[in-house]
Amino acid sequence: MNEMKEDSNFDLKDFNKHFTYVSDGRRRDRWHIMQRKPYRGDCEDYALTVLYNLKGRSLLRMFLSLIKRQSRIRHCKVNGNGHATLKYKGKYIDNGYKRWVKKDTMKKNGYKFHKIHYLPYVVLLKLLKGFILK
């Protein structure tokens, strides 16, 4: 379950090895897709970058995956803090686990999922906002 190969040669182990969590801090929440090593970002950036790479580094294929509901950026709370995960083909990944797990695994460890997910147009708007606010 650790490897979820799709349409690319995405190497999750290599990505995780070069990923460092960096909070947006007090700045406005800024979403982006990390393009090159070293990868530095927060939970939304991690989820989006994994999906982008699974879809062959194609924004079009990434958004089609979101539109067709093959994937979702899910909002949840962990220890009372807002957090984002990627749901893809029934499995979940985030910057905490750094591997594909079942939703129940996350729930058993304190993840409280909201009923709604980020709709594709919201993901697009947040990415555009992140691009503008660099």
pLDDT digits (tens, 9 = 90+) for 82-110: 999 999 999 999 999 999 999 999 999 99
- The verdict on residue 36 lying in a domain is yes
Phi, psi (degrees; rounded to nearest 5) at 44: -65, -40
Q: Which domain holds residue 106?
A: 12-132
Residue 2's pLDDT is 55
DSSP state of 106: H
Task: Please tell me the total count of domains within the chain.
Answer: 1
Cα–Cα nearest to 124, from 54, 41, 67: 67
pLDDT digits (tens, 9 = 90+) for 38-50: 999 999 999 999 9
Residue 70's pLDDT is 95
List, in sequence order, every beta strand (DSSP E) within the chain: 19-21, 39-41, 71-78, 81-88, 91-93, 111-118
- The verdict on residue 79 lying in a domain is yes
- The verdict on residue 88 lying in a domain is yes
Enter the pTM of the model: 0.92
Lowest mean pLDDT of 23-27, 33-37, 52-56, 65-69, name the range. 23-27
- The verdict on residue 4 lying in a domain is no
